[in-house]
Amino acid sequence: MRIVIAGGHGQIALRLERLLSAGGHEVAGIIRSSGQSDDLREAGAEPVVLDLESAAVEEVADVLRGADAAVFAAGAGPGSGIPRKDTVDRGAAVLFADAAERAGVRRFVVVSSMGADSGHEGDDQFAVYLRAKGAADDDVRARSGLDWTILRPGSLTNDAGTGLVDLQASTGRGMVPRDDVAAVIAELLDTPATAGLTLELIGGSVPVVVAVRDVAGN
């Protein structure tokens, strides 16, 4: 498959790019800065420099044309300030979904966040982030032109992946290594029967392949 990843220099995205390229897939990662290009090449991905906060939908669609799947893994980051929660965590996700529909790319996976909710209350930065992610998820789930899966990991760690997870519609709070999040995304891309699902993910006791198979079609 050819897979295009928005937020291609993110910690999860780089791990995912390595997994996908090692599996024989063709991967492109959208990044904001050309200075990140070498890191993507080392991960086996083609770097595409494009700012999703300012790009037109047709520019993004041009990158997506011919792809078999798209993954939205972009994020403004914890130090970005409140306004960019809307422009990146919500706005860029909506733009990427618009572009995928325009390019005819149906398979669409979103890396969201546990607790994402467009009605989440509060004015602090994390509350605004959860509202933005929730609004983006709502937008994607309303699209009949996409075979979407929303993945909502728990608290992310840089611990080595175990390959063992808890993946369900609702898991409760918990931590999960970024390695295992990337492994789950790769498996979701290979499992089209997970389309239409919103899934929470934490560390657990079930092998990734089995966990994805268990939720497929539910």
Active-site annotation holder among 72, 96, 129, 148: 129
Where are any strands of DSSP class E within the chain?
2-6, 26-31, 46-49, 69-72, 107-111, 147-153, 155-157, 164-168, 175-177, 197-203, 206-207
Residues 6+ apart with CB under 8 A from 9: 29, 31, 32, 33, 36, 39, 40
Determine whether 129 is an active site residue.
Answer: yes
Q: Are 28 and 45 in contact (CB under 8 A)?
A: yes
Our separate counts of H helices and E strands in the chain read 8, 11
Which residue's structure tokens are 């420099």? 49
Find the length of the chain.
218
Please state, in angstroms and rounded to a whole number, the distance separating the CA atoms of residues 48 and 28. Answer: 7
Q: Catalytic positions, please?
A: 129
